[in-house]
Structure 1
Amino acid sequence: MQVEIRQYAQQDAGEAAAVWNEVVEDGVAFPQTELLDVQSGHAFFSAQSFTGIAYDAENDEIVGLYILHPNNVGRCGHICNASYAVKGSLRGQHIGEKLVLHCMSKAKELGFGILQFNAVVKSNEPALRLYKKLGFQQLGVIPGGFRMKDGTFEDIIPHYHLL
């Protein structure tokens, strides 16, 4: 598989929403609870500062994506936030790492100075390992900050990286 990343286009809406929805349905990483369809997915992905689509260059299959947007406004508008989704059957193949690296570069290109993750779930060990590898700094722990799919609460660990 040869993974490349490009900007989201409207024709990606259905496939991108399906990948996004896998993570939402898992209920252990994204705060969203509502699933996207083609229409709501297009509106959501188009509203971001940038949506990156990871695809297999050999067959054009979407294998992952990320959304990038401001974390706040005004005097904190230089801080951005991002979320990453990788197709469940392809996790563990460094697609997430490619997405994060591309996102960091794109964020800097768009004029952001800091990439901040507000809610990395403590049990999301692959993400925690990746962010440590890429030099993100942990900001502490928010006890019980994430409601898991089963209704229990898990700690979250905010992170940041200077761009």
Structure 2
Amino acid sequence: MVNIRPASAADADSIWLILEPVFRAGETYTLPRDIARDEALAYWFSAGNQVFVAEDAGEILGTYYLRANQRGGGSHVCNCGYMTAAHATGRGIARTMCMHSKEQAKRSGFRAMQFNFVVSTNERAVELWQSLGFAMVGRLPRAFEHPSKGFVDALVMFAEL
């Protein structure tokens, strides 16, 4: 049974083990592929981020952050980033984290959730977000340079909470 809880500084090594291969692959996040550990963790734990981990039997299998997408008049819409450990793919970890994040966002006073930059070639994520009520509300042509597929579209996805 997957348990989701707030992340702590003690989780940094486990979170880095999840973040590093995803950032190094360069296929889904708009961060430098050679990002340093401390910089990556500072990004994930940025001020204003609520960070969570998904664990099973004490092993961290996924992590996500939740934050306001914009400030001021847009601060009622949140944004999230999710990552699942490669060896835990296909176990419903991302689905569980997204469902948790939607409830956490409501508890935090957000009225909607927006994913600003979903790489179109990340088909599993696109299908998952759609199955959880997110609509594609925008397409950014050739906005992401994929390391093997060249320039591909990025999607803006949105769901009211």
Q: Same fold (TM over 0.5)?
A: yes
Supply the RMSD in Å over aligned alpha carbons: 1.8
CA deviation profile, 1:19-67 (whole Å, cap 9, x unmatched): 01221112111111253525862674262431110011x2x11100001
Compared with structure 1, are the counterparts of its residues 136 and 43 closer, same or farther at alpha carbon in structure 2 (3 Å cutoff)?
A: closer
What amino acid is aligned across from residue 47 of structure 1 in structure 2?
A
Between stretches 72-81 and 37-46, larger displacement belongs to: 37-46
1:19 aligns with 2:18: yes
The residue number in structure 2 matching 1:134 is: 132
Shift of 1:94: 0.7
Separation in structure 2 between the aligned mates of residue 40 and residue 121 of structure 1, nearest angstrom: 19
The residue number in structure 2 matching 1:53 is: 53
Compared with structure 1, are the counterparts of its residues 31 and 134 closer, same or farther at alpha carbon in structure 2 (3 Å cutoff)?
A: same
Contact 1:17-1:36 within 8 A present in 2 as well:
no
Separation in structure 1 between the aligned mates of residue 122 and residue 40 of structure 2, nearest angstrom: 27
The residue number in structure 2 matching 1:35 is: 35
TM-score by length of 1: 0.90
TM-score by length of 2: 0.91
Q: Any idea what SS the aligned residue of 2:118 has?
A: coil
> Structure 1 runs of 4+ off > 6 angstroms?
none
The residue number in structure 2 matching 1:66 is: 64
The residue number in structure 1 matching 2:116 is: 118
More strand by share: 2
Compared with structure 1, are the counterparts of its residues 40 and 160 closer, same or farther at alpha carbon in structure 2 (3 Å cutoff)?
A: closer
Separation in structure 2 between the aligned mates of residue 39 and residue 154 of structure 1, nearest angstrom: 26
Count of residues paired in the alignment: 160
Structure 1 unaligned segments of length 5 or more: list them.
Answer: none
CA deviation profile, 1:106-125 (whole Å, cap 9, x unmatched): 11111111100011111111
